């Protein structure tokens, strides 16, 4: 038996998330069907580093599978990219130890959330950014987000129904900036999306989307906001935090081992 590690990039627009589900397209399900075609093995199972929701994208997701075939990693790379839909690309394939596990071996992840607060909004990025109808000041949001750094109980940003042994996580980096749009618009649309990047040793279910929604809500409420971000985190109460931002603005940027 051999263990193959994959680094994957995908546009989540047309998929019902990562996790395999009956009767709907998913990234995991698409990968498994393609690998079974390549290996002629019916029991191929792909394990990812995490389950992205419907509409969520990944610049680098990590996954692994076990196989009996002698095909080298570079053949898997070429064969998968030759057979997969163009919205799923394999960036790298490598043979790893049989006990490698994409989830339990991970030491951290980095996510990006993109917001289009420009007027007019960019019609070409509507599936890739959250369209917010109020201009946002990235400097104010950057200052507001600083309490996220460090080790905290982030229970207030967890969607209910997702039990964990602990809701304590350590955030090691928060980067908020404007980034150039990657979509060619011919000069018809101006403005750059607001990027919220967070790196941590782990994320709770919907944690990144809840943080993005809370930062926007705090900015929009302004002086009417009763609680600070620090007080919201210390409360552990999901109802005191902001909305869960839409999935299509979220990107898994990297997984660390």
Cα separation, 77 vs 68, whole angstroms: 17
Burial of 98 (0-12, 13-18, 19+ CB in 10 A): exposed
Do residues 111 and 251 make contact, with C-beta atoms less than 8 angstroms apart?
Answer: yes
Q: For 246, how many CA atoms within 13 A lie in the half-sphere containing its CB?
A: 15
Cα separation, 140 vs 194, whole angstroms: 12
116 tagged catalytic: no
Q: Which has the closest alpha carbon to 116: 101, 99, 133, 138?
A: 133
Secondary structure element (H or E) that encloses residue 7, with its range: strand 2-10
What b-and-e string marks burial along 138-149, b requiring 16 or more CB atoms within 10 Å of the CB? beebeebbebbe
Pick the catalytic residue from 11, 23, 42, 53. Answer: 53
58: which residues sit within 8 A by CB, 6+ positions away?
Answer: 8, 9, 10, 12, 52, 251, 252
Give the torsion sign (CA, 163, 167, 171, 176). positive
* Residues acting as catalytic residues: 53
């Amino acid at each position: 038996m051999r263990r193959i590690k994959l680094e994957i990039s995908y546009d989540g627009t047309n998929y019902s998330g990562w996790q395999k589900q009956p009767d709907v397209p998913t990234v995991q399900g698409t990968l498994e069907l393609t690998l079974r075609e390549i290996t002629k093995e019916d029991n191929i199972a792909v394990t990812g580093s995490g389950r992205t929701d419907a509409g969520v994208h990944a610049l680098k997701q990590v996954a692994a599978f076990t196989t009996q075939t002698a095909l080298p990693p570079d053949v898997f790379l070429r064969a998968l990219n030759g057979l997969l839909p163009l919205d799923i690309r394999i960036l790298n394939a490598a043979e790893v130890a049989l006990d490698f596990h994409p989830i339990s071996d991970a030491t951290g992840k980095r996510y990006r959330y993109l917001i289009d607060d420009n007027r007019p909004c960019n019609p070409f990025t509507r599936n890739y950014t959250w369209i917010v109808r109020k201009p946002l000041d990235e400097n104010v949001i950057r200052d507001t987000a600083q309490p996220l750094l460090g080790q905290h109980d982030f229970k207030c940003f967890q969607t209910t129904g997702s039990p964990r042994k602990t809701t304590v996580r350590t955030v090691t980096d928060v980067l908020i900036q404007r980034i150039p749009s990657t979509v060619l618009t011919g000069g018809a649309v101006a403005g750059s999306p607001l990027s919220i990047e967070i790196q941590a040793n782990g994320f709770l279910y919907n944690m990144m989307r809840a943080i993005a929604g809370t930062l926007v809500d705090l900015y929009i409420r302004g002086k009417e906001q009763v609680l600070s971000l620090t007080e919201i985190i210390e409360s552990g109460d999901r109802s005191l935090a902001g909305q869960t931002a839409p999935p299509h603005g979220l990107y898994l940027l990297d997984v660390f081992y």
